Amino acid sequence: TAICWRDDIKPKLEQAGTRLRAYDDLSGAERAWLTEYFLREVYPVLTPLVFDPSHPFPQISNLSLNLAVKLLDPVDGGVHYGRIK
């Protein structure tokens, strides 16, 4: 929940030296480094899954890392939800 993020996770990340910044606030060099890092280290291990009425909510494995995402269709403005494992 938002409270867990605000009161627990975010402060611990900051204590560990992790700074959260908006993408628009990054310099060109920082954006290039981040893009390269994502493509090399993160993208290869992602498993995106979308759920909707025809695809029910998937089973989440115990102790696995998952991220729920809200996706906006740039063409029609439709809202979709997904999970990244």
pLDDT at 57 over 70: no
CA-nearest of 55, 53, 58, 54 to 68 is 58
For 16-47, write each residue's pLDDT tens digit: 999 888 889 999 999 999 999 999 998 888 77
Split into its structural domains, the chain has a count of 2
Phi-psi region of 52 (alpha: psi -120 to 50; beta: other; left: phi over 0): beta
pLDDT at 7 over 80: yes
Q: Is residue 41 domain-shared with residue 52, that is, in the same domain?
A: no
| Mean pLDDT for the stretch of residues 7-20 | 91
Q: Is residue 21 domain-shared with residue 53, that is, in the same domain?
A: no
Q: Is residue 63 domain-shared with residue 31, that is, in the same domain?
A: no
What is the residue type of 74?
A: P
pLDDT at 48 over 70: no
Domain membership of residue 19 as a residue range: 1-45
Local confidence band at 80 (pLDDT 50, 70, 90 cut-offs): confident
Tokens of 46: 């992602």
Q: Is residue 54 domain-shared with residue 31, that is, in the same domain?
A: no
Q: Is residue 80 domain-shared with residue 58, that is, in the same domain?
A: yes
Q: Is residue 33 domain-shared with residue 13, that is, in the same domain?
A: yes
